[in-house]
Amino acid sequence: MSIYQLTVNKKKHRVDVDSDTPLLWVIRDVIGYTGTKFGCGMGLCGACTVLLNGSPIRSCSTPVSTLKATDKITTIEGLSEKATHPVQEAWVEAQVPQCGYCQSGQILAASALLASNPNPSDEDIDTAMAGNICRCGTYTRMRQAIHSAAKKIQNTKKS
Amino acid sequence: MKTSTSRRDFLRMSTTSAFVLALGFSSESKGKLLKKVTTTGVQINPYININEAGKVTLFNPRPDMGQGTYQILPMLLAEELDIPLDQVEIQMTDGSDRFGSQLSGGSSSVRTRWIPLRTAGATVREMLVQAAANRWKISMNDCSTKDGFVINKISQAKLSYGELVEEASHLPVPAKPKLKSFAEFTQLGKPSMRPDVPAKVDGTAIFGMDVQLPGMLYASILHSPTIYGKVQSYDATKAMAVKGVRFVLKTERVFFHGPYSDSGGFDQKLRGKAEAIAVVSESYWSALKAKKLIQVSWNALGFGETATEQYFNQAKAAALHEGNEYKDAKVGDFAKALQLSDYKVQGTYQTPFMSHAPMEPCNATVFVQGDQVEVWAPIQGPDGLVNDLATYLGVKRENIKINVTFMGGAFGRKAVFDFVMQAANLSKQVNAPVKVIWTREDDIQQGPYRPGMISAMQGGLDKDGNVLAFEHRLNGASIMASVFKADMRNNPDPWAGEGINLEDSPYAFPARRNSFNWIDPQMPVLWWRSVYASTNVFAQESFMDELAAEGEKDPLDLRLHLLRDAPKFVSVLNKLAEISDYRAKRKQGVSIGIAIARSFASIVAHAIVVEKQNTGGVKIKHVYSVIDCGFPLNPDNIKAQVESNIVYGLSAAVCNQITRTHGKTEQSNFHEYTVLRQGEIPASTIYVMPSQDEPGGVGEPGLPPIAPALCNAIFLATGKRVRTLPFDLSSI
């Protein structure tokens, strides 16, 4: 076991875990943010997606030892205050989630897409979201919600 | 549950105290999650608790796996109680007897609770009104209710439900409370926002995977690679050396309901349970690491050479013989009608074994303390789990408390509780709360699976192309045999005929026969979204188009003619033709295929437009769908469920399957058991039929007609008939 310093959702955490422990289990079982989910353990499904300095990564395949104390890790709990991120709002308006298990990862992937590409095309969405599986099949609504979140963000900037 | 009021249903309880998992509440740090919730208030019946401050708690008897029961069941209560759903707290029921059947399955939740829950709501409402009328000394007719208040229509005075509940609880329970008409509904019948959605966009919804208890240990399981099997010997030395590991133990896995002996029931020798090794550790990661270091010598119990190919060969051989006949599908004399036909058509269809692969792998947290058992788990039926645990552990049913969490998908998988029993077995062995988490590999390689089936179809036509005779021989595994150890050697599995019996499939064939040949799958099989309707309807609706082609009829016209005495089917088909512009002239290589099916008391028809690609293969351009599920309670959620079924059904048609050789499953994770992703989903247009009929099922009926609609479109575009699923769209 070793001590690691992590910055998760703007808070500093000291954790005492094995160096090969994936970030996923540190976030969920040590720090206690359970919004990040275990789905496949191989980086294939995207349920464990978190943001590392703004970019989506698969926390199930990211050993804690590869992270620096200055790295900014964002989980669904840290995306916004009171679920007010435009993607979260668009998700509620479009009634996207069904079982909801993959949705933390989907929302983080979508928020990263919009941060780098404020007006994504359908093809951009396909590429950015291809790593996140939804077995309930909410893909069509997610696409609509991403487009509508993009509009929200643009309107906020204009006003 | 009976619709009449009985004493047992209307126990008056002045206070209840419950240790519940507060679904949807924040759980930022470990250990906080489980909180002691004391529900004070008056519980006039099991489903409704009102406290004196007016807070209403509704108890929801159908677990939510994404299909929307978290909203729609409490809304049945809230509608009749006259309180907006967003003003109430929703709690899941705990499996105890007073709530009756609590299984989410068979798209039955609304259908079976439609009258009982509304009656429960209306009963309490009438008692509250009576209490107010007594206080005001006016007639009940001079009172109305709205938003949690009784209103005095003469004076316009108001009393809240909280102010009246104590008094109301002492009044006689009305024998026949008046239910609202559809026209009087204020919440049901229009698109509405699901109350679980906000918690599912900010990470606060609690799934089984998220349960954390003080002192809890984590377990990873090393299962028998052949599913059925015993541990001959094992060496845990290296595993025990991993930091955090507390125990390496023998455990077991049961299939599925009791009795849990090795050899209960027909041909279930060695299949009552399998042995497994568990690593119990302080963290899940260390349990996973240690699992890989265990050396096990397995006894495969004779299952070491089983293979799906062998199974399908057996099923194809069986298909040459008429099976055990279904009485609910028999019309006329099939053999004679076929003999008199001018043309005979045959087609053999194959559908694969499937894994449910919900996003949340199976997991459960159980604490066995002496004769007291408490469970926190994502399961489809807490009452069934109480029964199974009582049998398995030999404890009293009333000593078992189930906390139902949200399920991260289930699709039938979490209707059996083998993974919960493992956690119970381990908790008992180590005297601590234990959380068992299956890996994705456990999920995909251990089953239970949807049965793969061979459907042998035969039809006879006269010289004008009219269908005279129609036969469907089902050949394959029995879920009833797998789950309940029933003997299906000489009986048609009664569940296996769904979607193609005369009620579900009212085609006016002059002669018809459905039959079933049981084939031993040598693996556990289980309900998978829409169950046998998913396999039956693929064969039947594809074959309908084969008959149409042979008889030179348009596929829609043939169906409209044969369904002429089934007006609901005709309406659905006509609406589908309208929204899909079915009769439009399409360019060369672009075709529209259709299929229709009734399952779980609802009718769904899909039309799929495909385009032949110059580079080979076909592309799905658009899916059109019409659903008639009776009175639409939340039309937006009905659409969502059809969207979901399109994706789940298409994944099963063009992506994934389970194959087994040498007793082992060949797929292990999402790289081998592939599913559709964003960018692979066709655009869809979904129409929900208005209706004043009793509600039908919603979670499954959209699935069965999707694969045949696709394959019918492909035939029309390319001339190629797909009879085996899955297939590759790009190489058709």
The answer to whether residue B84 scores a pLDDT higher than 70 is: yes
Q: Name the residue facing A47 among B359, B437, B641 (closest C-beta).
A: B359
Nearest Cα of chain B lies from the Cα of A1 at a distance, in angstroms, of 8
Question: Using 50, 70 and 90 to split pLDDT, how confident is the model at B652?
Answer: very high
Residues of A in contact with B357 (CB under 8 A): 135
| Band of pLDDT at residue B270, cut at 50, 70 and 90 | low
Q: Do B679 and A129 touch (CB under 8 A)?
A: yes
- Tell whether A141 is within 8 A of chain B (Cβ): yes
Residue among A29, A92, A132 whose CB faces B197 most closely = A92
- Residue B262 pLDDT > 70, yes or no? no
- How high is the pLDDT of residue B44? 80
When pLDDT is averaged across residues B2-17 and rounded to a whole number, the result is 34
Q: What does the pLDDT look like over B198-251, one tens digit per residue? A: 999 999 999 999 999 999 999 999 999 999 999 999 999 999 999 999 999 999
Phi, psi of B534, rounded to the nearest 5 degrees: -65, -35
| Average pLDDT along chain B | 93
- CA distance, residue B197 to nearest chain A CA (Å): 6
- Find the radius of gyration of the CA atoms of chain B: 27
* Greatest C-alpha distance within chain B: 82
Instruction: Provide the 10 A C-beta neighbour count for residue B541.
Output: 29
Looking at the partner chain, which of A33, A80, A139 has a beta carbon nearest the beta carbon of B678?
A139
User: What is the pLDDT, as a whole number, of residue B632?
Assistant: 98
Contact A7, A72 (CB under 8 A): yes
Residues A68 and A85 reside in one and the same domain: no
Q: Which of residues 81-100 of A touch B (CB under 8 A)?
A: 82-83, 88, 91-92, 95-100
- Measured distance CA(B563)–CA(B577) in Å, rounded: 15
Which band of pLDDT confidence, cut at 50, 70 and 90, is reported for residue B259? Answer: confident
* Boundary residue ending a domain (A28, A51, A78): A78
Q: Residue B37 is encoded by which pair of tokens?
A: 């919730």
Instruction: Provide, rounded to the nearest whole percent, the portion of chain B with pLDDT above 90.
Output: 89
Q: How many other C-beta atoms lie within 10 A of the C-beta of residue B55? A: 17
Determine, for residues A130 and B675 on separate chains, whether the beta-carbon distance falls below 8 Å.
Answer: no
Residue in B with minimal Cα distance to A60:
B285
Select from A78, A105, A129 the last residue of a domain: A78
A82, A100, A125 member nearest B406 (Cβ): A100
Q: CA-nearest residue of chain B to A22? A: B285
Angle ∠(A127,A133,A137) on CA atoms, nearest 5? 105
Q: How confident is the model at residue B271 (pLDDT cuts 50, 70, 90)?
A: confident
The CATH number covering residue A140 comes to 1.10.150.120
**Residue A48 and residue A107 in one domain:** no
pLDDT of residue B12 exceeding 70: no
* A72 shares its domain with A90: no
Give B-chain residues touching A31 at CB under 8 angstroms.
29
- Three-state secondary structure call for residue B663: coil
Q: Nearest 5 degrees, angle CA A62-CA A63-CA A67?
A: 85
What is the per-residue pLDDT across B559-596, written as a single tens digit (0 to 9) for each? 999 999 999 999 999 999 999 999 999 999 999 999 99
Asked if B276 and B299 count as a contact pair (C-beta separation under 8 A), the reply is no
One-letter amino acid for residue B253 of the chain: R
When divided into structural domains, chain A yields a total of 2
**Complete domains list, chain B, with CATH:** 8-201 (3.30.365.10), 208-303+362-437 (3.30.365.10), 319-354+449-731 (3.30.365.10)
State pLDDT tens for residues B391-407.
999 999 999 999 999 99
* Per-residue confidence band for B39, with pLDDT thresholds at 50, 70 and 90: low
Domain shared by A56 and A6, yes or no: yes
Burial B690-723 (b: 16+ CB within 10 A, else e): ebeeebbbbbbbbbbbbbbbbbbbbbbbbeebbb
Q: Which residues contact B327 (CB under 8 A, 6 or more apart)?
A: none
Comparing CB atoms, the residue among B209, B285, B407 nearest residue A37 is B209
Whether residue B474 is predicted with pLDDT greater than 70 in this model: the reply is yes
Domain that holds residue A68: 2-78
CA distance B102 to B114: 14
Are B408 and A33 within 8 A, CB to CB? no
**Among the partner residues B198, B203, B285, nearest to A104 by beta-carbon distance:** B203
Q: How many residues does chain B have?
A: 732
Residues A74 and A85 in one domain: no
Chain B environment of A88 (Cβ under 8 Å):
201-202
User: Shortest CA distance to B203 belongs to which of A129, A12, A33?
Assistant: A33
Cβ neighbours of B203 in A, within 8 Å:
33-36, 75-77, 104
Q: Within an 8 Å CB–CB cutoff, is residue A140 touching chain B? A: yes
Q: Are residues A28 and A53 in the same domain?
A: yes
* Closest approach of A49 to chain B, Cα-based (Å): 12
Amino acid at residue number B628: D
Residue B267 binned pLDDT confidence (cut-offs 50, 70, 90)? low
CB contact under 8 A, B359 and A133: yes
pLDDT band with cut points at 50, 70 and 90 for residue B272 = confident
The minimal CB distance from A100 to the residues B28, B205, B437 is found for B205
Of A78, A103, A122, the one marking the end of a domain is: A78
Mean pLDDT for the stretch of residues B702-722: 98
Same domain assignment for residues A106 and A120: yes
Residues in chain B closer than 8 A to A121 (CB atoms): none
List helix spans (H) across B40-172: 69-81, 109-136, 161-168
Q: What is the pLDDT of residue B385?
A: 98
* Contacts of B135 by beta carbon, 8 Å cutoff, 6+ apart: B159, B164, B167
Whether B203 sits inside 8 A of A141 (CB atoms) is no
Tell me which of B258-272, B311-325, B434-448 is least confident.
B258-272
Residue B321 CB coordination number (10 Å): 11
> Cβ of B99: how many Cβ atoms within 10 Å?
20
A12 & A74 share domain = yes
Q: What is the pLDDT of residues B108-141, one digit of tens each?
A: 999 999 999 999 999 999 999 999 999 999 999 9
pLDDT tier, B269 (very low <50, low <70, confident <90, very high otherwise) = low
Beta strand ranges found along B464-575 (DSSP E): 467-476, 511-518
- Give yes or no: residues A52 and A13 share one domain: yes
Does the structure show a pLDDT above 70 at B670?
yes
Using the beta-carbon criterion (under 8 Å), do A140 and B210 form an inter-chain contact?
Answer: no
Low-confidence ranges of chain A (pLDDT < 70): none
Interface contacts (A, B; CB < 8 Å): 205
Interface test with B, best of A82, A99, A146 (most B CBs within 10 A): A99
**Confidence grade of residue B60 (pLDDT, cut at 50, 70, 90):** very high
Q: Identify from B33, B64, B202, B284 which residue to disrupt to test chain A contact, counting A C-beta atoms within 10 A and taking the largest count.
A: B202
Tell me, what CATH number does A36's domain have? 3.10.20.30
Chain B residues with beta carbon closer than 8 angstroms to that of A136: 66, 359, 409, 644, 647-648
Residues of A in contact with B284 (CB under 8 A): 25, 29
B253 vs B416: CA distance, rounded Å? 12
CA distance B127 to B42: 13
Q: Tell me, what DSSP letter sits at residue B284?
A: H
Q: How far apart are CA A30 and CA A28, in angstroms?
A: 6
Residue of B nearest to A144 (CA): B683
pTM for this one? 0.95
Q: What is the ipTM of this complex?
A: 0.98
Place of tokens 């188009």: B545
> Residues A61, A113: one domain?
no
Is the CB of A137 less than 8 angstroms away from the CB of B646? yes
| CA proximity to A131, closest of A9, A46, A15 | A46
Q: Do A13 and A27 belong to one domain?
A: yes
| Nearest CB neighbour to B200, from listed A45, A103, A132 | A103
Q: How far is it, in rounded angstroms, from Cα B69 to Cα B76?
A: 10
Return the number of other C-beta atoms located less than 10 Å from residue B653's C-beta. 23
CA distance B334 to A56: 61
- Say whether both A112 and A139 belong to one domain: yes
User: In terms of Cα–Cα distance, which of B106, B207, B135, B13 is closest to B483?
Assistant: B106
Q: CA nearest B24 in A: which residue?
A: A35
